[in-house]
């Protein structure tokens, strides 16, 4: 048998049918559903008189436009409320488990899947959301789909897929203090650009990835889509198995033994070939910050705003001018020291317990600058509960942060949490597109540590100096 990549093994194990010249029909093990991209899919089913083929392999939650204020209050935004009500009605009609606003398991869809132990190695996982790549951290093949495909999976539990190419991104060396998984992935996207991995599934390998916790691996896989990749994956190992141990839906007893046999067979075979290879030395990385209007426009915090005149083509120059104009930045200005008015800590990229712990360590005993409004939005109800058990909420509140209920919140600002025009925000989320966090809002993507330090300082800082001081 020839050597196979982990991706190829999972792909092959899920082929229901493959006809020459046609896409493969792949079986989907887990389908995650949320309120924004599902209503039209359920409608389609109803119109065609179709059922959900495997409701028990489908799970739904509300995250994108839920308010993050007191859950006992009525929802003021009637259109958001309608979208949530429609999801609840659809789940009831089609027999799908729903973690709604009042469930203790509610949260950002990519945070609750792993938390519940539903995300496991070797699975195929889809969701009508591009950051589904997060689940690849477990050695699953997980990717985002559109609403028509959501309908397709609901009706058939399968998807038609053409074989993507594979890319190995090897991260050697060890991270220096103050540099995180977020900085690695921002560094990778900076190298690849926002379309550099289009058509590829990435497998992240190397010493730095192996040394990471599951939560850190999720941060890396989460942003694979920002380089254009279909999916990102990390081979399962003892760190993965330890994380899964005891999770509600993780296998137990004899099932666990059988599962482990499969899981251990997944890592890429020695000698298996990838179509592309990118290597990065983690030890050379500094904390990264985005300065433009896409996640490929990033630099180390020690760098300066780039000059459009250095761009190779006129169209590159024009788009850089447009990005800097939108961001209100001058070429050559240092990134370190750039004043900010808002801080957002949360999202499916950096809204997990370890993220909050690391941010809390920075703000402990400090005060948020008087010019800054800062908020922490735990990624799920469970993250919030665990954080409160450790007293992290008190640390943030004492420093002057707001401590909110779980949801996507200001990652995309579909709920009331938005930036005002021209407000500048240090954000732990994943997209700095124009208007993403609110029309005219200016987003700088950073790690939780960097966001926390910026909140205290009132401007972007190099968290490494900050840590040396305190």
Binders of ligand SF4 among 331-390, rule CB under 6 A?
Answer: 347-348
Which listed option, ligand SF4, another protein, none, makes contact with residue 413 (CB within 5 to 8 Å by class)? another protein
Structure tokens belonging to residue 313: 């083509």
405 binds ligand SF4 (CB under 6 A): no
Reference 119, options 137, 104, 131; nearest CA is 137
Alpha-carbon distances of 107 from 212, 243, 260, rounded to whole Å: 23, 19, 28
Q: Restricting to residues 35-64, which ones interact with another protein according to CB under 8 A?
A: 36-37, 39-40, 43, 48, 50, 53-59, 64
Chain centroid offset of residue 450 CA: 17
DSSP structure string for 153-187: HHHHSEEEEPPPEEEEEEEES-PPTT--HHHHHHH
Residue from the set 88, 117, 211, 400 that interacts with another protein by CB under 8 A? 117
Alpha-carbon distances of 367 from 302, 360, 374, 390, rounded to whole Å: 24, 12, 11, 20
355 binds another protein (CB under 8 A): no
Binding-residue pattern over the window 243 to 272 for another protein, x denoting contact by CB under 8 A: ------xxx---x--xx--x----------
Residue from the set 29, 35, 115, 129 that interacts with ligand SF4 by CB under 6 A? 129
Residue from the set 239, 303, 319, 467 that interacts with another protein by CB under 8 A? 319
408 binds ligand SF4 (CB under 6 A): yes
Q: Restricting to residues 268-307, which ones interact with another protein according to CB under 8 A?
A: 294, 296
CB of 139 to another protein, least distance (A): 14
Report the sign of the C-alpha dihedral through residues 262, 105, 407, 95, in that order: positive
Chain centroid offset of residue 337 CA: 27
4 binds another protein (CB under 8 A): no
* # residues near another protein by CB under 8 A: 85
Tally of CB atoms within 10 A around 241 = 17
Residue from the set 64, 230, 342, 436 that interacts with ligand SF4 by CB under 6 A? 64
68 within 8 A of 406, measured Cβ to Cβ: yes
Exposed / middle / buried, residue 6 (Cβ in 10 Å: 0-12, 13-18, 19+): buried
413 within 8 A of 437, measured Cβ to Cβ: yes
The nearer residue to another protein, 59 or 272, going by C-beta atoms, is: 59
Which listed option, ligand SF4, another protein, none, makes contact with residue 390 (CB within 5 to 8 Å by class)? none
115 binds another protein (CB under 8 A): no
The nearer residue to another protein, 174 or 258, going by C-beta atoms, is: 258
Q: Which residues bind ligand SF4 (CB under 6 A)?
A: 63-64, 108, 110, 129, 131, 347-348, 408, 411-412, 429-430
């Amino acid at each position: 048998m020839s050597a196979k990549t982990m991706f190829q093994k999972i792909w092959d194990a899920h082929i229901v049918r493959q006809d020459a010249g046609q896409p493969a029909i792949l079986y989907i093990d887990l389908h995650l559903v949320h309120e924004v991209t599902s209503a039209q899919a359920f409608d389609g089913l109803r119109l065609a008189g179709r059922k959900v083929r495997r409701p028990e392999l489908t799970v739904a939650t509300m995250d994108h436009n839920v308010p993050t204020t007191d859950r006992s209050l009525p929802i003021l935004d009637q259109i958001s409320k309608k979208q949530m009500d429609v999801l609840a009605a659809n789940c009831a009609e089609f027999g799908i488990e729903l973690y709604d606003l009042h469930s203790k398991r509610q949260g950002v869809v990519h945070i609750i899947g792993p938390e519940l132990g539903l995300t496991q190695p070797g699975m195929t996982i889809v969701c009508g959301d591009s950051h589904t790549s997060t689940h690849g951290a477990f050695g699953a093949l997980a990717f985002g789909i559109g609403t028509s495909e959501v309908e397709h999976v609901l009706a058939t539990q399968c998807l038609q897929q053409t074989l993507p190419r594979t890319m190995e991104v090897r991260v050697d060396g060890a991270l220096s203090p103050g540099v995180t998984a977020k900085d690695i992935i921002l560094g990778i996207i900076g190298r690849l650009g926002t379309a550099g991995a289009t058509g590829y599934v990435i497998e992240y390998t190397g010493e730095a990835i192996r040394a990471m916790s599951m939560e850190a691996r999720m941060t890396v896989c989460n942003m694979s889509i920002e380089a254009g990749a279909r999916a990102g994956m990390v081979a399962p190992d003892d760190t993965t198995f330890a994380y899964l141990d005891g999770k509600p839906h993780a296998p137990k007893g004899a099932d666990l033994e059988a599962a482990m046999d499969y899981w251990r067979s997944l890592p890429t075979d020695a000698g298996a070939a990838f179509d592309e290879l990118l290597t990065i030395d983690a030890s050379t990385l500094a904390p990264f910050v985005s300065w433009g209007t896409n996640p490929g426009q990033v630099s180390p915090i020690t760098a300066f705003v780039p000059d459009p005149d250095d761009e190779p083509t006129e169209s590159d120059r024009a788009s850089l001018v447009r990005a800097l104009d939108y961001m209100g930045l001058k070429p050559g200005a240092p990134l370190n020291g750039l004043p900010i008015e808002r801080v957002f800590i949360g999202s499916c990229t950096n809204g997990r317990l370890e993220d909050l712990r690391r941010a809390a360590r920075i703000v402990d005993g400090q005060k948020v600058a008087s010019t800054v409004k800062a908020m922490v939005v735990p990624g799920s109800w469970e993250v919030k509960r665990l954080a409160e058990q450790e007293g992290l909420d008190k640390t943030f509140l004492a420093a002057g942060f707001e401590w909110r209920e779980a949801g996507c919140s200001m990652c995309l600002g579909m709920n009331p949490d938005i930036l005002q025009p021209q407000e500048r925000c240090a954000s732990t989320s994943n997209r700095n597109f124009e208007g993403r966090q609110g029309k005219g809002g200016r987003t700088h993507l950073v790690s939780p540590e960097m966001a926390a330090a910026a909140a205290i300082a009132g401007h972007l800082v190099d968290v490494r100096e900050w840590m040396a001081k305190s």
